[in-house]
């Protein structure tokens, strides 16, 4: 088969040219859209997929992930297929109405004296391909929003000393720090938060920023490293 493909692609023989022309012609073949039929098939596919996904989440994946948690996690919603990846001896507590992407990774440091703890409040979103590396403690307060591909780096996994790193030694205690996102914090896509950082209530961190120091409450921050850009206007209360 490999030899035939090479011959059909390269040979000047008339038959090889005919094969190439036929292949080129076949690539342009399309199924015309049949009004009504394909629209109905599209809606039916979405409906069936949604029903199957709901059934799997309700009867299979959500109870499985809840069995790994400390506490009940009422109305937990898993977004996507499969299960979040949980690594290491991390203890996890989720509040009510947490929405957790199934592409999330939660890891716990294995070399500490105590089990690391992840505590998540209520009405929290944790987005697609986010990684939460828990060194000692990571706390997400109520109403936190974390967009896709964020990284909460509570521990690095390797020591700074190159000889120790080459020998496979774990990170050291001074490299580990707690991370706290206070009520209403929003991390946009691709934000990294370093160990030992606290982000104040209501603060928004712009996409692709790297937060290496504490941020105050109620500000818009961004950059590498992240800095305060401006205060956010207070929410207007209804009269």
Is 16 contained in some domain?
Answer: no
Whether 38 is catalytic is: no
Q: How far is residue 203's CA from residue 88's CA, in Å, rounded to a whole number?
A: 30
> Does the pLDDT at position 134 exceed 90?
yes
130 located within any domain: yes
166 prior amide bond cis, ω within 30: no
Task: Identify whether 35 is part of a domain.
Answer: no
CATH number, domain of 207, equals 2.160.10.10
Rounded CA gap, 197 and 177, in Å? 8
Catalytic residue among 20, 66, 99, 158: 158
Question: Does 213 map to a domain?
Answer: yes
Average pLDDT of span 13-42? 86
| Average pLDDT for 23-27 | 81
What's this model's pTM, rounded to 2 decimal places?
Answer: 0.82
Supply the DSSP string of 46-105, one letter for each residue: HHHHHHHHHHHIIIIIHHHHHTTSSS--TT-EEESSS--EEESS-EEEE-TT-EEETT-E
93: nearest Cα among 57, 123, 117: 117
Quote the pLDDT of residue 235. Answer: 58
User: Facing residues of 91 across strands?
Assistant: 117
**pLDDT-based confidence at 73, cuts 50/70/90?**
very high
> Total structural domains in the chain?
1
Domain assignment present for residue 170? The answer is yes
pLDDT in the model for residue 220 = 98
Residue 5 is predicted with a pLDDT of 78
Residue percentage of the chain with pLDDT more than 90: 72
State the average pLDDT over residues 74-78: 96
Q: Is the pLDDT of residue 7 over 80?
A: no
Residue 121 within a domain: yes
Min mean pLDDT across 15-24, 76-85, 137-146, 207-216 is at: 15-24
pLDDT, one tens digit per residue, over 43-56 is: 898 889 888 888 88
Average pLDDT over residues 59-65: 93
Residue 39 domain flag: no
| Least confident residue range of 39-48, 108-117, 198-207, 229-238 | 229-238
More confident residue, 150 or 5: 150
Range of the domain at 82: 68-231
The answer as to whether 20 is a domain residue is no
pLDDT, one tens digit per residue, over 155-201 is: 999 999 999 999 999 999 999 999 999 999 999 999 999 999 999 99
């Amino acid at each position: 088969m490999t030899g035939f493909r090479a011959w059909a692609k390269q040979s000047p023989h008339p038959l090889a040219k005919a094969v190439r022309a036929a292949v080129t012609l076949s690539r342009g073949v399309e199924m015309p859209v049949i009004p009504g039929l394909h629209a109905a098939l599209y809606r039916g596919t979405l409906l069936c997929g949604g029903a199957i996904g709901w059934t799997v989440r309700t009867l299979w994946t959500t109870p499985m992930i809840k069995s790994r948690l400390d506490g009940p996690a009422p109305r937990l919603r898993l977004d996507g297929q499969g299960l979040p990846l949980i690594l290491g001896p991390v203890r996890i507590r989720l509040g009510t109405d947490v929405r957790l992407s199934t592409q999330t990774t939660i890891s716990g440091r294995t070399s500490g004296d105590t089990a690391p703890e992840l505590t998540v409040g209520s009405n929290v979103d944790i987005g697609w391909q986010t990684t939460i590396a828990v060194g000692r403690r990571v706390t997400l307060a109520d109403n936190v929003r974390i967009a896709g591909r964020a990284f909460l780096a509570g521990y690095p996994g390797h020591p700074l000393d190159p000889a120790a790193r080459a020998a496979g030694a774990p990170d050291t205690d001074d490299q580990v720090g707690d991370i706290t996102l206070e009520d209403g914090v929003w991390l946009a896509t691709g934000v990294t938060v370093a160990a030992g950082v606290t982000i104040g209530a209501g603060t928004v961190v712009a996409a692709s920023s790297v937060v290496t120091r504490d941020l105050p409450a109620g500000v818009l921050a961004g950059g590498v490293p992240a800095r305060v850009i401006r205060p956010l206007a207070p929410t207007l209360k209804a009269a």
